[in-house]
């Protein structure tokens, strides 16, 4: 396991690459050349990694002591010869796990999170601990426990196909009770605020279309007419319109069903309702806080497509036509694969953007809050559902 610590999250990708390669003593395997996620997604000897922001020498000392208590060796590299943390310094610390050169790993992968210094190590001590992983088709299935509950943790990758394949591998290779999916999403519903966590009840694959001919008649399914969005005046458009179509679902022991709205497991949804009063994180740090406390919101509809939505007009269309509250690129694939295999599934999505621009904080800050809040809700749900299954087993 590798923990990379920086006191400046505004470094360019060139500086990030140089510092990461040095901080890991040259043992990294590859570094994606994209900022700001480059630092979060690089790999080193197949080990998980977490990015932690620090702002003072005191934070550094606390981190070192906690790493020492966990028997994690530390190595510190200082940029430009500076020997202490200062407002203009660039300091990186790498904590190298004791299983660095073997196939065993310490904590489970949280590679999309930028977490608080003490918060991460507290989770490391009491929350998510992974003892080993299994590698299949370039995916790492980390096997461990969350608060005593047996779990397998895997990153799906982005977009529909990657998500569906990952879940199918998980179902085929392991004996699992169900799928808990968490991540970030854009909001198509103005009643949702940044940092809120949506507990979906239904999700649709809204990139399943029939592209119709120009001047074709209206069908029975919902349509999007491109001419209705001409600017400055509405009118005809040679792109005509698209008709949204249902998804064919093939489930074990059932005939093929056509579904537009894919349902979340009703029993798991009822269990998740117990989390309605869960306290979520409101602040990125002492400087950046959301204007109000984020909340867990239940019974919403989600939209999935291989599209990163940043268009206000389409966002508004989805909400008005389908009452969609969140948009993402994976949830429908995960739910559909779970339905096909008869495995319970639930989805937690943290709101990180408005799916059409705007916001009071930087995208990185909002993504941080959305990720952390969705993760915390998922962890609390795992505790609840684990207790339910434990009671049934006895």
Nearest to 289 by CA among 361, 372, 212: 361
Stretch among 143-147, 162-166, 176-180, 315-319 having the lowest mean pLDDT: 143-147
Residue 100, domain member (yes or no): no
Residue 71, domain member (yes or no): yes
Q: Which domain holds residue 162?
A: 114-225+236-391
Average pLDDT over residues 215-223: 84
Same domain, 53 and 119: no
Average pLDDT over residues 244-257: 91
Supply the CATH number for residue 215's domain.
3.40.50.1580
Same domain, 60 and 123: no
Stretch among 10-24, 108-122, 333-347 having the lowest mean pLDDT: 108-122
Pick the last residue of a domain from 64, 95, 126.
Answer: 95
Does residue 10 have a pLDDT over 80?
Answer: no
Does residue 110 have a pLDDT over 70?
Answer: no
Same domain, 89 and 127: no
Same domain, 158 and 25: no
Residue 104, domain member (yes or no): no
Higher pLDDT, 266 or 392: 266
Same domain, 382 and 257: yes
Query: Across the strands, what pairs with 301?
Result: 202, 324
Pick the last residue of a domain from 31, 63, 95.
Answer: 95
Average pLDDT over residues 133-153: 84
Same domain, 66 and 16: yes
Residue 210, domain member (yes or no): yes
Asked if residue 171 lies in contact with residue 165, where contact means CB atoms within 8 angstroms, the answer is no
Supply the CATH number for residue 47's domain.
3.40.1490.10
Burial of 260 (0-12, 13-18, 19+ CB in 10 A): middle
Given this model, what pLDDT does residue 94 score? 54
CB atoms < 10 A from the CB of 387, how many? 14
Burial of 84 (0-12, 13-18, 19+ CB in 10 A): exposed
Same domain, 214 and 72: no
Residue 101, domain member (yes or no): no
Given this model, what pLDDT does residue 378 score? 93
40-83 pLDDT, tens per residue?
444 433 344 555 555 666 666 766 676 666 666 665 554 443 43
Residue 107, domain member (yes or no): no
- pTM exceeds 0.75 for this model: no
Same domain, 184 and 328: yes
Given this model, what pLDDT does residue 119 score? 47
Q: How confident is the model at residue 163 (pLDDT cuts 50, 70, 90)?
A: very high
Q: What is the mean pLDDT of the chain?
A: 75
Residue 102, domain member (yes or no): no
316-367 pLDDT, tens per residue?
999 999 999 999 999 999 999 999 999 999 999 999 888 875 655 556 667 8
Instruction: Report the C-alpha gap between 91 and 87 in whole angstroms.
Output: 11
Stretch among 161-165, 306-310, 320-324, 336-340 having the lowest mean pLDDT: 306-310
Instruction: Report the C-alpha gap between 294 and 278 in whole angstroms.
Output: 10
Given this model, what pLDDT does residue 55 score? 60
Higher pLDDT, 170 or 287: 170
Same domain, 122 and 57: no
Residue 47, domain member (yes or no): yes
Given this model, what pLDDT does residue 340 score? 95
Same domain, 168 and 314: yes
Total structural domains within the chain: 2
Same domain, 333 and 211: yes
Same domain, 33 and 166: no
Higher pLDDT, 156 or 261: 261
Query: Across the strands, what pairs with 24?
Result: none
Does residue 127 have a pLDDT over 70?
Answer: no
- DSSP for 54-78 reads --SHHHHHHHHHHHHHTT--EEEEE
Given this model, what pLDDT does residue 262 score? 97
Pick the last residue of a domain from 62, 95, 128.
Answer: 95
């Amino acid at each position: 396991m590798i923990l990379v610590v920086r006191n400046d999250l505004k470094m360019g990708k060139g500086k990030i690459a140089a510092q990461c390669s040095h901080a890991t003593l040259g043992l990294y395997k590859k570094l994606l050349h994209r900022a700001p996620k480059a630092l979060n997604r690089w790999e080193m000897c197949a080990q998980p990694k977490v990015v932690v922001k620090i702002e003072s020498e005191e934070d550094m000392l606390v981190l070192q002591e906690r790493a020492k208590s966990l028997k994690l060796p530390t190595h510190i590299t200082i940029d430009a010869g500076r020997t202490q943390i200062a407002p203009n310094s660039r300091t990186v610390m790498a904590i190298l796990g004791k299983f660095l050169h073997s196939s065993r790993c310490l904590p489970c992968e949280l590679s999309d999170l930028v977490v608080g210094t003490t918060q991460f190590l507290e989770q490391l001590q009491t929350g998510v601990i992974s003892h080993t992983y299994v590698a299949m088709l370039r995916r790492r299935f980390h096997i461990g426990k969350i608060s005593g509950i047996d779990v397998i943790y895997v990153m799906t990758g982005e977009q529909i196909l990657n998500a569906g394949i990952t879940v199918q591998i998980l179902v085929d290779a392991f004996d699992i009770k169900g799928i808990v999916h968490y991540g970030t999403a854009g909001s198509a519903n103005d009643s949702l605020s940044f940092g809120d966590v949506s507990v979906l009840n239904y999700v649709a694959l809204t990139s399943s279309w029939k592209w119709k001919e120009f001047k074709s008649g209206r069908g029975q399914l919902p349509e999007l007419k491109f001419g209705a969005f001409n600017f400055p005046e509405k009118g005809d458009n040679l792109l005509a319109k698209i008709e949204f179509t249902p998804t064919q679902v093939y489930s074990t022991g059932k005939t093929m069903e056509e579904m537009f709205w894919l349902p979340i497991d009703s029993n798991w949804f009822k269990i998740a309702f117990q989390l309605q009063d869960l306290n979520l994180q409101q602040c990125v740090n002492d400087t950046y806080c959301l204007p109000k406390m984020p909340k867990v919101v239940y019974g919403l509809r989600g939209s999935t497509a291989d599209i990163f939505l940043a268009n206000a007009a389409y966002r508004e269309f989805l909400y008005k036509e389908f009452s969609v509250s969140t948009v993402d690129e994976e949830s429908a694939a995960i739910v559909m694969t779970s339905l096909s295999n008869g495995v319970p599934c639930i989805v937690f999505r943290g709101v990180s953007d408005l799916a059409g621009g705007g916001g009071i904080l930087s995208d990185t800050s909002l993504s941080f809050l959305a990720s952390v809040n969705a993760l915390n809700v998922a962890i609390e749900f795992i505790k609840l559902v684990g207790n339910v299954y434990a009671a049934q087993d006895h």
